[in-house]
Structure formats: C-alpha cells, structure tokens
Homo-oligomer: A and B are copies of this chain.
C-alpha cells in the first residue's frame, strides 16, 4: 500500500467511482500493489477482467477519474465530510472481516463482498470509536406501529448502555432505531447507500441532521452518488461486518433484512430476531429466519440483545415477567418521572425535575421515552399525562381478565 496518504486517498475515491464498492478484482489488486498503481493499470486497460474494463471505460468516458476524485474531496471538505482509508486510525477494523467472506455468488450482488476501499463520513465522532460497541438494528421500511414501537424501545435501551445503534436511515424500522438512540442521548450511525451530502430518503432530512450533529453519517459512495437499487444490498454487507451483531425487527419474506442476516451469520456476528404476530406479513421474514437458522437468536428486549453482544456477565437480563405493560416495563428513573407528573394539567420540565428528585437532563431524556410510549404528551404550556396514561393509572399491572373467569385452578 502506498505510503503517500493523499495519493492513496485520491486513488481509492477514484476507484470507488469507477467500479462499485466491494468489487473483488479491484480489492485484490489494491491489496497486492496499492490503489494508485491499480488505478493507473485500470485506466491503461492493463487488467484481465474484460467486463470490469468495459465498466471502467464507460465511467472514465464521462469524466477523468482523478479530476472527479479531487473535486469530490474538495467538495466534501466544504460540507464537513471526510474520507477514511485503511491506513487511518479511524478505520473500523470490523469492515476488514469482509475480506474473508465467501458467499455462494448465485446473484450478482454476492460478487461485491470485499471490504470498502474508503469510507465517507460526516460527524465528529471517530469512526472506530463509534463502531467499537455497536449493534445494527434493521428491518422493513413498511414497518407496522408494533415494529416501530419495539425498535424504539430496544434502541433506546442499547444507547442507554452506551452501545452505538447502527442502521440504514430508511423509513420504518431504520428510522425508529435512529430515533430511539437519539432519544436516549446515545450514539447512532446511519450507513447510507448514496453520497453523505444527499442522504436518502428526503423525508428523513431532519433525522439525518440530528444524526450528523451527535452521531455519524457514513457511506462508501462518493459525494453526489445516487441511491441506486443495487447499492442497498452492497451497503448491507458493511452494516453486517462493522457491528458486533444485528437485530432484525420486522422483515417481509425474502427481504433485504433477511439477506443482511445471511451476511451477519456468514461473518460470525450475532444474528438476533424479534418475533411478531404470525398474522403480520411484516414478521414473516423474522419467523422464517428463526425457523431456518438455528444460530439466529430470538430477542424481545434490549437486555436480551446485550446478553448476546456484551462480554459474558456484563449484562444479566431479568427473567421473563408475568406481565409487561407500558408502565410496568419502565426503568426506575422513567417511573419516577411518571409518578411525579400531575394527574391533571401540564408541568414544566424544571418543576418536574424538582418533584421527581432527578436532574433536568435525566428528566428530559426520560420524557422522550415516555412520550414515545404514549404516556406523556407535549403541550404549549409544558408536559402532561396522555389521556391513555391517565385512564390507566388506576389499573396498572392488572392482568387481563375475562368476565366470569374465576381461576381456582392451575390449568392452562
């Protein structure tokens, strides 16, 4: 590998533009002779792979690759986007695990399984730091209310324990995963399938802004790259490789999330699956994973996820409880905040902090969780109990009762 970091960086950006990331031939050439030499050879047509050469010629007909890379790097600098290459301290070591990954190659995407040549990043946190304790939380875009609720809870719990929540920035489960981590004041990374200057989908623009300001936006594709269909599957391999494990919350049959779990297992990462109603099309993929992959682990809470990804004994999940209600499953601080809420009318966070005997910052975090669970609402004059929380407050923790069911027996 070249010791000229600037030249190496430029060549890697150019190579990623000439051929899609993960390309096996290019990665092997870069490994053996460095990015700059590989770029020169490619542009001279001195490689044996004819289909790759054809693709390279098509691209380099549009623009000079070195000029493109130089402009992209300068534009990135203006936007606060940096390019990380393997010789940088920030390079996440997990990504290199892709070098050893062999898949069956029955579809064209499976040929793109080698590590990234470079990573574009927006956000202050060093990339390797962010991924050191990280879990991917992914799933369907057309998620249900149930899926979003469970995702938010799990991501909030992971972020609270200072695990980075990694996802793809899509609608549905991905968005809920990022939101949950942000609500806990935690770190979240969106791994994109397009340039970090144009996060996709546009509807998530404010989410991407929040992620960038406290976490990271990351992509293998240079500034300006479009979110083409096949790029999502290429992108998914990096999510799988760079994290300790992945949780899939809702997935239709044969969906991208199911495919990602195949990668996760092939890489020896922890594959975790949240079940759902068997009547929901959005859980069919999850149940199929649990039926077909003995290594895939059923999880229902953040504690279960931490059991899988934490070092042994670091976390001990509570045994299953007989009843889990919106209020019952609250952590102690959130329960304190909820208890301190006035039954009628609104209250300021400051007053609430005083009543609950907690710091303001803690109260604000807990309010985010309580709001997402539908227990409190934000009004113009402060925070109030939601109507649902108010009507439920006299029968919390009561198991559902059937009329006329007098249970003197231990049957069932």
Contacts and interface: CB of A to CB of B under 8 A. Distances in A.
Contacts of A200: 409
Given A409-B227, A412-B140, A402 B279 contact: no
B144 A400 contact: yes
A174 to B, nearest CB: 7
A48 interface: no
A282 B324 CA distance: 9
Interface in A132-154: 138-142, 144, 146, 149-150
Given A142-B401, A253-B322, 19 more contacts: A141-B402, A141-B405, A146-B277, A168-B412, A172-B402, A172-B412, A173-B412, A174-B412, A200-B409, A252-B323, A278-B300, A278-B301, A284-B324, A285-B320, A287-B320, A291-B299, A291-B304, A294-B294, A298-B298
B170 A412 contact: yes
Interface stretch (A115-123, A228-236, A363-371): A228-236
Contacts of A150: 278-279
Contact of A275 (B251, B278, B320): B278
Given A168-B411, A229-B409, A409-B228, A291 B281 contact: no
Interface in A38-94: none
B279 A324 contact: yes
A228 B409 CA distance: 6
Contact of A400 (B142, B235, B277, B404): B142
A290 interface: yes
Contacts of A173: 412
Contacts of A319: 253
A30 interface: no
A325 interface: yes
Interface residues of A, number: 77
A308 to B, nearest CB: 11
A56 to B, nearest CB: 24
B252 A402 contact: no
Copies of the protein in its oligomer: 2
Given A298-B291, A324-B281, A141 B412 contact: yes
B412 A251 contact: yes
Given A172-B402, A412-B232, A277 B277 contact: yes
17 contacts: A141-B402, A141-B407, A150-B278, A168-B412, A193-B409, A228-B409, A229-B410, A252-B399, A253-B322, A256-B411, A275-B283, A276-B277, A276-B278, A277-B277, A278-B300, A278-B301, A281-B399
Contacts of A105: none
A251 B297 CA distance: 20
A288 interface: yes
Interface string A389-412: 000000000011110110111111
A296 B329 CA distance: 27
B253 A139 contact: no
Interface in A158-207: 168, 170-174, 193, 200-201, 203
